[in-house]
Amino acid sequence: MTMEMLLGVEALFAVLLGLVVGSFLGVVAHRLPLMLERAWADHCAETIGAKAPSRPHYNLFRPPSHCPACKHRLGILENIPLVSWLLQRGHCRACGSFIGWREPLVEVAAAALALLVVWRFGPDWDRAFAAIFVWMLLLAAVIDIQRGWLPDEVTGPMLWIGLVANLGGRFASPEDAVIGAVAGYLSLWLVYWGFRLATGREGMGLGDLHLLAAIGAWTGWQALPGVILLSALLGLLWAAVACLALGRSRAEPMPFGPMLALAGLVALVWPDSLAGLLTGVSPALA
């Protein structure tokens, strides 16, 4: 098998695996927040001595995938990532209602990230760990866009997996990874409390602190200034577009997790570009 054929097979496998993983990430992004909200409600009821409401069992696998409008249970052929959505033109076969764009977009994004990892990293454990990281960044970004908060159940495992991945100095030395996790949390912690003390309001959610700590665990502390700067620039750009083009109020909360996730992706795949960004901004500030 020639090198071109081998690369083609790797790319095809990456796309197929990415679509499957993206389909699962779409389920997690939808169901995990609901599962947590149910658990919180049950805990509150238990705390005040009330009886938790009785409801059907709900987790990542039960009930099976179904149409949100008519509850039609999807068959095997209706669960093929992206292909089923395209063949059905985005509509339920049973009731004809529009399924939505979230699922295919997440699947395509996961496949694109898998291709990016195959192109950037060699066929070893670097590639496997990098794929886990970028897919978890995607999951965090989707949940934050949909719900406006980041679950510890996503950012916590991301941090610990990053520390394990760097035990052998895969993307950063173990020392730099640990310092990156601590510095990532503390940097935004200072911003969080500084803004809260100055204004009496919360400027960001605590999930953003945990996400930056996880990114620091993967990329090392050296990447954090670039990650913070790039995510801030992306946030300002999105805020300008949302206010000027979409007519959103400046007081309306904006999810910052997607900006951090995109900056974290750049830090892992194109670390030199972050260094170039800092180099380019420093003279301008001086």
In a domain, 63, yes or no: yes
Task: Annotate 108-170 with DSSP letters as a single string.
Answer: HHHHHHHHHHHHHS-TTHHHHHHHHHHHHHHHHHHHHHHHSS--HHHHHHHHHHHHHHTTTTS
130 lies in a domain?
no
pLDDT of residue 239: 85
Q: What is the pLDDT of residue 285?
A: 39
Long-range CB contacts for residues 1-10, cutoff 8 Å, separation at least 24: 10/118, 10/123
Q: Does residue 116 form part of some domain?
A: yes
Q: Residue 52: what pLDDT? A: 73
Are residues 155 and 268 both part of a single domain? yes
The predicted-structure confidence for 133-182, as pLDDT tens digits, reads as follows 999 999 999 999 999 999 999 999 999 999 999 998 999 999 999 999 99
In a domain, 140, yes or no: no
Q: How large a percentage of the chain has pLDDT more than 90?
A: 52
How many structural domains is the chain composed of? 2
Q: Tell me, what's the pLDDT at 281?
A: 56
The answer to whether residue 91 sits within a structural domain is yes
pLDDT tens string 235-285: 999 888 878 777 777 667 789 999 999 999 999 999 888 777 766 654 443
Average pLDDT estimate for 69-86: 85
Q: Does residue 47 lie within any of the structural domains?
A: yes
Which of 74, 103, 120 delimits the end of a domain? 120
13 or 54: which carries more pLDDT confidence?
A: 13
Q: For residue 266, give its domain range.
A: 150-278
Residues 170, 218, single domain; the answer is: yes
